[in-house]
Amino acid sequence: MPTALITGATAGLGAAFARRLAAEAFSLVLVARDEARLAESAGQLKLRYGVDVETLPADLTTDEGLAAVEARVRQGVDLLVNNAGFGHHGRFPDVPAADEVRMLKLHCEAVLRLTLAALPGMRERERGAIVNVASVAAFFSRGTYSASKAWVVNFSESAAADIGDPRIKIMALCPGFVRTEFHQRAGMDTAGIPGFLWLKADDVVREGLRDLALGKRVSVPDVRYKTIVALGRLVPRGLQHYVSSRIGR
């Protein structure tokens, strides 16, 4: 039975990945900060899908938490989903530097280190996959959040090219606005976001895993966001920034 480790696994896209992979008979390792919520999620998944579920409470913005998850990844996983992330409601440079550094540690350092921890075992077994959750924001200029997600996209493409083995897949998943707790936790006002731009987490995960199976290195779920990204490459950067500022991250 294959094993998947998912960070940020108790809500939003992480929980959707857990449900989908459990339905596909993966054993799960769920990583999140909230130990009680992890236990609740694990119990529900075991009851519904009959799979093995391991929980690992850890804060990936701390050295101790990141080291603990690295150690578990080195024990062997078939699929690593680097999903944990957060946003700021403030704009650069008003956000405190310490908060910006926490974001970079989670979005960049954790993705780098967990990927490096997973790859030796995958190369030895000659199979495996890594999904690094980025964002459509990666293709637009919007503060440290979009900059960190742009790094995730570039890193994922570069790592996949450097590994050069089609049996080991590395992909950046770049969703748009998804109905999750993300914006509420960040204190962001989403009232101005048009309804047609919202996606369902389960749909994003389904399309992302399909693209992973197809060997894509970057996945932008939904034709609406594929169109937005394509158009964004055609308009001046200044106009991109204006639209992004008006609509939100």
- pLDDT tens-place string over residues 56-100: 999 999 999 999 999 999 999 999 999 999 988 778 888 999 999
Of residues 93 and 186, more confidently modeled: 93
Mean pLDDT of 4-16: 97
- The pLDDT tens digits of the residues spanning 109-126 come to 999 999 999 999 999 999
Mean pLDDT of 183-199: 61
Asked whether 246 and 191 are in contact (CB, 8 A), the reply is: no
The confidence score (pLDDT) of residue 240 equals: 59
Residue 49 is a catalytic residue: no
pLDDT at position 244 over 60: no
- Residue whose C-alpha is closest to residue 220's, from 108, 110, 138: 138
Q: Helix (H, G, I), strand (E, B), or coil: what is residue 80?
A: strand
Identity of the highest mean pLDDT range in 81-90, 134-143, 207-216: 207-216
The confidence score (pLDDT) of residue 117 equals: 98
Mean pLDDT of 129-137: 97
Q: In what order do the strands lie in the sheet with 168-173?
A: 53-57, 27-32, 3-7, 79-82, 128-133, 168-173, 218-219
The confidence score (pLDDT) of residue 187 equals: 47
- Least confidently predicted of 161-170, 173-182, 214-223: 173-182
Catalytic residue among 49, 145, 225, 242: 145
Summary mean pLDDT of the chain: 90
CATH code, 124: 3.40.50.720
Which pTM was predicted? 0.90
pLDDT at position 193 over 90: no
Asked whether 127 and 78 are in contact (CB, 8 A), the reply is: yes
pLDDT at position 26 over 50: yes
The confidence score (pLDDT) of residue 90 equals: 79
List alpha helices for 50-189, DSSP H: 63-74, 97-104, 110-125, 143-163, 182-186
What tokens does 156 get?
Answer: 């994922």
Mean pLDDT of 7-32: 97
pLDDT at position 234 over 90: no
The confidence score (pLDDT) of residue 245 equals: 57
The rounded distance, in Å, linking the Cα atoms of 39 and 43 is 6
Residue 200: domain span: 3-247
Task: Give the total number of structural domains in the chain.
Answer: 1
pLDDT at position 238 over 90: no
Share of the chain above pLDDT 70, in %: 88
Mean pLDDT of 30-58: 98
